[in-house]
A = this chain, B = another copy of it.
């Protein structure tokens, strides 16, 4: 935490754990009899409960989107640049909710939780969830918070898939949807990268078919490899080039197999810090949820038909150098929304940061979100 809390920070925040005792029927056919959802809120819910905004997180995100947990925190929440008083998602105007998704590893029930039926960690026995499952569990949280209709559901990447699924699956429960750095479904290449990541994790001898907790170990190498690879796909070639180029760590080539280039050093560091804070079974589960997401499948691959019941107005945002979910993928969403006769605003942001741009305070991006959110705020108060 900075010595003086910035005026535009939500400040010190604490998560809340909601225990839900009613069963959740999942797409895979299994049922979770009860589960915890951990969430944070920023700002105040108005009397009409009309100013609530749901933030959906991406693969490695969690419920801690803004502010600081304690004075020792070095970093604020993962989207602190966008959420706070006066920021693009203005907590003076909105009641912002962010939860750790079910299957996560940051406090909501997931593979690292104890399975009440066995008294052991769920581990690999935790059911594989879908984006639609997440949306159903998020709706339970909304009910608990007495939010009948979100002013907006907002997400980037895998979070954007949840936002889309809200608009498609529960159309009357949101007025706006912000779909950022998204795709309507993964391409074969996207799935291929996920499969390499999963293979890396599963082939780590410390993985023990997912029961690593019972062996008091972690599949660090496999999860680290998955993260290294993921990281490459989150950045653009250009951004990596600008940041690292071909710079050598020790200034000289040593003709050995240890780390030589700065980019290698960076990836190894990113991966080793990630494995200490993330669960491998959760990582597997998240990649599967990504692979499975394909809402148009039930509509004969007709994305416009899939969008037919959407009531929310949409803001779709893409980033020029994002090669994981390129602007063309966002345009598929925009085209479908337009074909379905929906109200949609689209912005392609010039950005060199690749897919990760959706997490960055890029001025034009933040201005567009702020302007759009301001319109929503005006609706809430009028």
Residue of B187, B235, B260 near A240 (CB, 8 A) is B187
* Complex contact A191–B257 (CB within 8 A): no
Q: Scan A198-224; emit 1 where CB is below 8 A from any B CB, else 0.
A: 111011010000000000000001001
Give the chain B neighbours of A335 by CB distance below 8 A: none
Report the minimum CB–CB distance from A152 to chain B (whole Å): 29
A256-B128 CB under 8 A given contacts A199-B225, A261-B291: yes
* Complex contact A196–B232 (CB within 8 A): yes
A128-B198 CB under 8 A given contacts A244-B188, A323-B323: no
B-contacting 9-mer, from A9-17, A154-162, A263-271 = A263-271
Give the docked Cα–Cα distance between A238 and B92 (Å): 45
Give the chain B neighbours of A189 by CB distance below 8 A: 232, 235-237, 240-241
**Interface residues of A, count at CB 8 A:** 54
Give the chain B neighbours of A193 by CB distance below 8 A: 232
* Complex contact A261–B191 (CB within 8 A): yes
Give the docked Cα–Cα distance between A160 and B192 (Å): 27
**Nearest residue, chain B, Cβ from A244:** B188
The listed residue with most B CB atoms (<10 A of its CB), out of A185, A203, A292, is A203
- Counted per complex, copies of this chain come to 2
Give the chain B neighbours of A28 by CB distance below 8 A: 255
* Complex contact B288–A246 (CB within 8 A): no
Give the chain B neighbours of A236 by CB distance below 8 A: 189
* Complex contact A188–B255 (CB within 8 A): no
Residue of B195, B196, B203, B245 near A188 (CB, 8 A) is B245
A196-B229 CB under 8 A given contacts A188-B244, A244-B188, A246-B188: yes
Give the chain B neighbours of A205 by CB distance below 8 A: 205
A203-B187 CB under 8 A given contacts A196-B232, A267-B196: no
* Complex contact A185–B246 (CB within 8 A): yes
State whether the Cβ of A110 lies closer than 8 Å to any Cβ in chain B: no
State whether the Cβ of A253 lies closer than 8 Å to any Cβ in chain B: yes
State whether the Cβ of A61 lies closer than 8 Å to any Cβ in chain B: no
Please give me the 7 A-B residue pairs with the lowest Cβ-Cβ distance, nearest first.
Answer: A28-B255, A188-B240, A189-B237, A203-B221, A195-B264, A188-B263, A188-B244
* 11 additional A-B residue pairs with CB within 8 Å, beyond A196-B229, A196-B267: A29-B255, A128-B256, A128-B257, A187-B237, A188-B241, A188-B243, A189-B241, A191-B246, A193-B232, A255-B288, A257-B288
